[in-house]
Amino acid sequence: MKSPEKMPAPEKIFTEEKNDYYESIVIEGEKEKEAPIKEGEVFNPATVKDILKLPSQDRRAALETYKEKLAYQKEGLAEMQQDLTKAIYENSNIKRAELFEIVDEYAEKYGFIPEQLEAIEYALDKYKEKRREVSKFLREYPDAKECFKELFGAGPKGEVEIIEGPITIYFRCHDPDDFARIYNQRIFSKKGDNYELTAKERAKADLSGGVSILSSRIKELEGTIIAENARGREFDKGSRSIYAHEEQHAIKNLLVREEQDRGFMRALEEAGDTSKEKKAALEVSFKSYLEERRRVCEDYAKDEILAFLKGGHRSINSIIEILERNREAGGLYDYFGEDEELVLGKDVREFSEYVSYDKEETRKIAKEAIKRVYNKGDFNQTVRKGITAFVDLYRMYDGKKKDSYFKERIIALLINEPLHKWPIVARRLMEQKDRGKPN
């Protein structure tokens, strides 16, 4: 079994340069502003119920403060997930105590409550469990061809390499038919292992350089399978980049999903016994759950945009078109479409069983929530505005374009900001420049 050489740290996939130029920039209103949650303070998102009971004259101010703290805490949770992902990626056998050192640092700063810490602990335990399952399976099936057959229902036609990641099994397929089989696993799961893919299904797979699939014939390995359409290429810089990108997605997705699952299942515990109360609890839970999932989809889109911009071989319009294309039209980055399948399958089943509510009625509730939260038009606008912000920054410093690392420096500036905040960052920098401040 082939093992990968040591990968660069996640943030270095995009830039290796120390960003002294941008470190000197102060975004007005960002660094000077006092944190909404003071160090040592605890903030419980559930307090909104108490705020809504306040007299109208007090409610508005209290809600504004609440929203500010909630947004701040959510950003802290997202940053913590990123740091945990990086730590796991760099050392797959990292000790539990080391991971909790990272958690404790964020808990103090962002006011996590015991229930949130319990959910984080649950997610980290799930990581360790998934790590054990991946290692165990690859010990049982050390031969790449046998491993492929066990997971995908037929032996490979060409050469297949396997790389073991922290919680992934990474297949490098040198025959396009083998990659197409992995890419179209959900079709085989519905139509049987002997199904012959159509020319259109093969062509769609052929357009993709890599894929991550959430399902698996072996339940313990769900969310661990990723593959590269290698076609005889060596495990070079491009392949390492695909591997690193997909591996980090898998780690982050596991941490986020398990933490969310734990949190939302707890919320369902408070559902009443009547059908009406159960329905209301499911409506609230699915809405909140999908809003968090949307944040993850936005992170994925941001990663893809940065990768495209770093590559520099596509036009801005081409990047937008690729990211906006839906699955039915052969889109490779339709995160909502991919997530919707999981929500309407696994999540509907688990949510309905948890509160003993009719599965089909639960699916209807989930579909309504998806319609409201997974608004493709709004999401596409976020993508367009984010890319436009990058272009605006690039044009603003047009005179410095002779600097060969200039594009990487803009990327380094934006990489730690959520995609929806890119226009705000760009606007503030441009306002500073217009006022003649140092830049």
| Higher per-residue pLDDT: 121 or 410 | 121
Query: How high is the pLDDT of residue 149?
Result: 95
Query: How high is the pLDDT of residue 115?
Result: 85
Query: How high is the pLDDT of residue 331?
Result: 59
Q: Which of 13-22, 199-208, 322-331, 427-436 has the highest mean pLDDT?
A: 199-208
Query: How high is the pLDDT of residue 14?
Result: 29
Mean pLDDT of all residues in 215-230: 87
Residue 118 CB neighbours (<10 A): 15
Query: How high is the pLDDT of residue 377?
Result: 84
CA distance 374 to 287: 10
Mean pLDDT of all residues in 203-223: 82
Torsion over CA: 427, 430, 432, 434 (sign): negative
Query: How high is the pLDDT of residue 212?
Result: 78
The percentage of the chain sitting over the pLDDT mark of 90, rounded to a whole number, equals: 18
| Higher per-residue pLDDT: 121 or 187 | 121
Q: Which amino acid type is present at position 371?
A: K
Query: How high is the pLDDT of residue 322?
Result: 76
Query: How high is the pLDDT of residue 72?
Result: 86
The answer to whether residue 431 scores a pLDDT higher than 90 is no
Mean pLDDT of all residues in 398-407: 53
Query: How high is the pLDDT of residue 259?
Result: 64
Q: Read off the pLDDT of residues 65-76 as tens digits, 9 standing for 90 and up.
A: 888 888 888 888
Tell which residue, 137, 184, 180, 191, has the closest CA to residue 156. Answer: 180
| Higher per-residue pLDDT: 352 or 146 | 146
Long-range Cβ contacts of 318-324 (<8 Å, 24+ apart): 319/387, 320/383, 320/384, 320/387, 323/380, 323/383, 324/380, 324/383
**Lookup: tokens for 36:** 């909404």
Q: Please, what is the Cα angle at 28 between 25 and 33, to 5 degrees?
A: 120
Query: How high is the pLDDT of residue 348?
Result: 87
CA distance 221 to 213: 10
The answer to whether residue 386 scores a pLDDT higher than 60 is yes
The answer to whether residue 414 scores a pLDDT higher than 90 is no
Mean pLDDT of all residues in 391-397: 76
Is 81 within 8 Å of 255 (Cβ atoms)?
yes
| DSSP single-letter state for residue 92 | T
Q: Read off the pLDDT of residues 252-274 as tens digits, 9 standing for 90 and up.
A: 777 776 666 666 666 666 666 77
Residue 389 CB neighbours (<10 A): 23
Q: Which amino acid type is present at position 345?
A: G
pTM above 0.75, yes or no: no
Pairing status of strand 225-229 against strand 169-173 = parallel
Mean pLDDT of all residues in 287-297: 80
pLDDT class of 24 with cuts at 50, 70, 90: very low
Residue 229 CB neighbours (<10 A): 24
Mean pLDDT of all residues in 115-139: 90
Query: How high is the pLDDT of residue 16?
Result: 31
| Higher per-residue pLDDT: 332 or 295 | 295
Listing DSSP states for 340-355 in one string gives HHHIIIIIHHHHHHHH
Identify the three-state secondary structure at position 214.
Answer: coil
State residue 425 phi and psi, 5-degree precision.
Answer: -60, -45
CA distance 244 to 163: 11
Residue 353 CB neighbours (<10 A): 11
Q: Read off the pLDDT of residues 33-61 as tens digits, 9 standing for 90 and up.
A: 688 898 889 998 878 778 878 888 888 88
Mean pLDDT of all residues in 80-105: 89
Mean pLDDT of all residues in 8-19: 33
Residue ranges per domain, the chain?
36-112, 135-269, 272-439
**Lookup: tokens for 22:** 């941008």
